[in-house]
Amino acid sequence: MAVQLHSDGEAEQVRGIDWALLRRLLVFLRPYRGWLLLGVVLAVLGAVIAPARPYVSKLAIDHALHFQEWGSFAWLLAGVLALVLVYAALQYGVTYLLQWIGQRALLAVRTEVYEHILRLGLRFHDTTPVGRMVTRVTNDVEGLSEFFSSGLVQLIADLLLLLCLVGFMVATDWRLALLTLSVLPLLVIASLLFRAKVRKVYRQIRQQLARMNAFLNEYISGITTIQLFQQEAEQFRRFERLNRRYLQLQRRSIFYYAVFFPSVDLVWALAIVVILWYAAHWLGVGGLTVGTLIAFMQYVEMFFRPIRDVTERYNVLQTALVSAERIFDILSVRQRIEDAPDAVPMPPLRFGIEFRQVTFSYDGVTPVLRDVSFTLRKGQMVALVGATGAGKSSVVSLLCRFYEFQAGDILIDGRSIRKLQQASLRRRIALVLQDDVLFSRTVLENIVFGRREISEQRVWQALQRLGLEEFVKRLPHGLATVVGERGVNLSAGERQLVALCRAFVGEADIIILDEATAHLDSETERLLEGALERLRREGRTCIIIAHRLATVQRADCVIVLHRGQVREIGTHAELLARDGIYARLYRLQHERELAA
């Protein structure tokens, strides 16, 4: 059954804080809990020190300045300056420490997600768009940045600062404190509306970004087909629709911010007006001092700033939870084939391979292979032929354990493939596909990919032994030639030969060519046949899948698959003599070649 990632549809429910998800997210901070505790302590000290500055200013004005005690006044001013400097140092320490913790936590998340994707089975990769996975590793992980680097600790610090401010305001003048708090209901209503709107639009923005990434990956990869069918304008219009939708969502989020922050400032101004209105009366009758009024003006400014920040921190938390939900969607997928507890490393191939009544289905419903049975002896060259969809590539995928078969067994030297460790099994197999992937590295790095123990000298020796040395020497810089992304700097035939070199250079016992000659000209194909013959003399087992039956005529054994079943087995001559499926395919191709 296929496993899909978190839906990118529009009909997603907007939920409150998922505490279980938050706890899973905090696991990534566990290695830094000591440093995180230090950050909390620094943030708490800052929250306590910040409200003290207006209170010291009040003392300086109402007592030292009023009674002209200039010595005390100087000391109080020095105290204000000291508080400012200490607060600035604390803020620096908190910011630097939390950013350091956050970036290291992001590194851990990004690494874990990428490693998990690498280990997932091909069934997952067959059903999941690449662009969506790229979004998870990049944008969604980046969505956790503010949460890890400031969100949680600063949220605690802001809440504590509010409590400290309320305490100082009440201690300074309880009447002005009540007046200040009287406007809070307006602020709470504005914050709730803002939070609900922004939380929803943030989720939609990330969904739309995932759609754009998936679209770009799919259609840039297929640029040749797009240009061939002259669909550039149509695909541009499709991308423009996606892009404009993304723009609309971003504008909506900007609109919410543009409305909310002035609303907070409006409430703050209202609080100032109320305080000044009543202060004018109390100052006149001696019920209020100038120092108290100045201190309260500072308190009000300090009070509304963390309120605005708390709302923003909450939105950071919501954004992080949306990203975390999508990240944990991938991390929770267990769609991979695990080694059996008693699995052992695969030794060098000694006797051969046997498929014993193997049945396989990609979706668990429609069989692709049914009761497939055949035996390959060590050192044989075996060809798998059949019409498109007959199951040839599926046989190879099962031999490599890319998928799990539902019935029967595959035996290597009499041992079930399920009793062999996958890593050692794949080290014994070299697979060349019709469109093999080359990475943006040198030819040498592509040839020895994943096998650092293979030296350049050993590569040249292998190429010389297989007769592929001249091909490499013809490249602009030999083995040092950079092939570009997916081998773009090479021709299709050259890319295929590099992939063949990669397969031949190792010590694989089983060489599989899945339509590997599709891009080769006649001369290069003869070069390949010579290399295969040398490998066979060395005792390597070669499995060839090819639609061109002329390619398989030299095989020791030809296995004909038809609709997922083995219908014929024999040599080229024997199968022609039987006048069955193989003979009909051969005559049909021969007639087409003559007509061409």
Q: What is the CATH number of the domain that holds 245?
A: 1.20.1560.10
Query: Residue 533 domain-assigned?
Result: no
Domain span at residue 76 reads 19-331
Match 């061939």 to its residue by tokens: 228
The overall average pLDDT reported for the chain is 80
The answer to whether residue 291 scores a pLDDT higher than 90 is no
Domain membership flag for residue 110: yes
What domain count does the chain have? 1
In a domain, 587, yes or no: no
- Could you tell me which of 121, 160, 166, 115 has the C-alpha nearest to residue 141? 115
Q: Is the pLDDT of residue 19 over 60?
A: yes
Instruction: Compute the average pLDDT of residues 481-486.
Output: 75
Q: Return the closest-CA partner of residue 53 out of 165, 177, 178.
A: 165
Under the banding of pLDDT at 50, 70 and 90, the label for residue 70 is: low
Residue 546 within a domain:
no
Q: From CA 427, how far away is CA 527, in angstroms rounded? A: 25
> Averaged over 198-208, what is the pLDDT?
79
pLDDT at residue 14, rounded to an integer: 44
Please indicate whether residue 369 or residue 324 has the higher confidence score (pLDDT): 369
pLDDT at position 25 is 79
pLDDT at 7: 43
Tokens of 537: 């003399």
pLDDT digits (tens, 9 = 90+) for 91-129: 888 888 888 888 888 888 888 888 888 888 777 777 777
In a domain, 9, yes or no: no
The pLDDT tens digits for 339-388 are: 888 889 988 888 999 999 999 988 778 888 999 999 999 888 898 988 88
Element (H, E) at 558: strand 557-562
β-bridge mates for residue 420, sequence order: 344
Q: Is the pLDDT of residue 391 over 80?
A: yes
pLDDT at 458 over 50: yes
461 torsion bin: left (phi>0), alpha (psi -120 to 50), beta (else): alpha
Does residue 238 lie within any of the structural domains? yes
Beta bridge partners of 429: 510
Q: What is the pLDDT at residue 519?
A: 62
Confidence check: pLDDT of 3 > 50: no
| pLDDT bucket at 150, cuts 50 / 70 / 90 | low
Residue 241 lies in a domain: yes
Tokens of 39: 């950050």
At 364, phi and psi to the nearest 5?
80, 0
Strands 352-361 and 541-545: unpaired
Instruction: Please report which confidence band the pLDDT of residue 8 belongs to, taking 50, 70 and 90 as the band edges.
Output: very low
Q: Is the pLDDT of residue 63 over 70?
A: no
Binning pLDDT at 50, 70 and 90, where does residue 155 land?
A: confident
With beta carbons less than 8 A apart as the criterion, state whether 589 and 549 touch.
yes
Q: Would 293 be classed as within a structural domain?
A: yes
